[in-house]
Chain A
């Protein structure tokens, strides 16, 4: 196999792995290492990177651990999985220690929207009587926080099950929030720093007249 073919095969393997599962676990890594044994190290590093990324979102969550029969593992797969779990354990331990000591794990406060799946996100949208576009603008900090009525932020914080202070901290972070899973059709790079007032966002997000009237009356 030529070097170019090998690089292309690695690229395909990494791409497939990224699509196979949102957060790779031992089982999926095992499958890919068996299929692409020559790229075991790169696949393991990539799986670790994806898993660590997910840990940043759910710092307290447990990573699902898959039980595999030890006698079915080749030495290469065993090494890859050991590295995977050791690195995950190291990251989880360091984050837990930081939390116990009261040391912030990051300068950026946690995004209270990050844990919502699609159904939960839409449920929140429905109960707030807004639409998904308006909620995306809130989540991605496109709305100037000082212009959002306190009554609305209180309702939103209640929906997100976080104290209002935590929500305001998220909304006040300088710089834009970049959620995973956004795909663009654009001529240029995405512009994440566009800001609107609450009033402008209400009027430009495709909300119906009744929704706009209720929000602007807050």
Chain B
């Protein structure tokens, strides 16, 4: 079994559940927001290079359930960063 299979399965299940609940799968921001709400997480955008990002473009902190994401000009890039860090 591929080591990433569990993560892929989990993401696929959530994707299907959100789409079934009416979230537009072609709207990445809506998908991310819905997933964050479902997982009871917090998302915050921080300036590039902020100490809270620890040199990353995005990070997920498990203890607080927080996604910190770099501020970018592109909504799509921001959504992808959030998606990949969560």
Contact = CB atoms under 8 A, between A and B. Distances in A.
A19 B62 CA distance: 14
Contact of A184 (B44, B46, B56, B62): B56
Interface in A164-188: 179-188
Interface residues on A, range: 35 or more
A180 B54 contact: no
B3 interface: yes
B42 interface: yes
A204 B50 contact: yes
A121 B63 contact: yes
Contacts, number: 106
Interface string A122-153: 10010000011101110110110000000000
B20 interface: no
Interface stretch (A23-31, A59-67, A73-81, A190-198): A190-198
Nearest to B54: A190
Interface in B1-32: 1-3, 6
B63 A116 contact: yes
B59 interface: yes
Given A121-B64, A186-B57, A187-B57, A195 B51 contact: yes
Interface residues on B, range: 20 to 34
Contacts of B52: 133, 136-137, 142, 204-205
A45 interface: no
Contacts of A16: 6
Nearest to A194: B51
Contacts of B6: 16, 19
Interface string A48-62: 000000000000000
Interface of B: 1-3, 6, 42, 44-47, 49-52, 54-66, 68, 81, 84-85
